Amino acid sequence: MILLLDHHNQSVAEEMLEVQLPAYRKEVEIIGFDGIPQLKETTEDIKASKEIYIGKYEKEQLLGFISYEINGDEMDICRLVVHPNHFRKGIASELLKYVLDLAPNSVSVIVSTGAKNKPALTLYERHNFSKIKDIEVEPNFFITQLKYNSQI
């Protein structure tokens, strides 16, 4: 079941952190960079976030979630995380498709991921995202920014 998460709720924020931290630790292994800001987040940070969170549950367990913000005519996908125990089950694709279906046609959808994160880049490309540019955010560490093409 996919539903809107009440991230202001303490127990929901705790559940989210239990998914987010292992997911980003796996990304660290893939990209070789441990400066991912979400690795330092606390439940208080999640509760204070202005992002909109959508989660995927199986029974009572949160398996993954996606978040986004809409600023004017742009939807920015801020994070897409799946607990490593549930990788390769189509959860990330399901969450991404859900949010893309929510996006009004009038907004452009963008996302950023580590330039070395091949699994994430493949996922986004499979869902009609195209690379816009690489951005150096730390010395010798790049993120790739992609934009969704709804016309494909």
Using one digit for the tens of pLDDT, what is the confidence trace for 8-23? 999 999 999 999 999 9
Residue 66 near residue 98 (C-beta atoms within 8 A): yes
Domain chopping of the chain, boundaries: 2-148
| pLDDT band with cut points at 50, 70 and 90 for residue 111 | very high
Please report, rounded to a whole number, the percentage of residues in the chain having pLDDT higher than 70. 99
C-alpha dist (Å) from residue 91 to 26, 47, 64, 106, 114: 16, 23, 7, 26, 20
Among residues 98, 102, 52, 108, the alpha carbon closest in space to that of 79 is found at: 52
Structure confidence by residue, pLDDT tens digits, 53-93: 999 999 999 999 999 999 999 999 999 999 999 999 999 99
Greatest Cα pair distance in the chain: 43
2-148: CATH topology: Aminopeptidase (3.40.630)
Separation of alpha carbons 46 and 26, rounded Å: 20
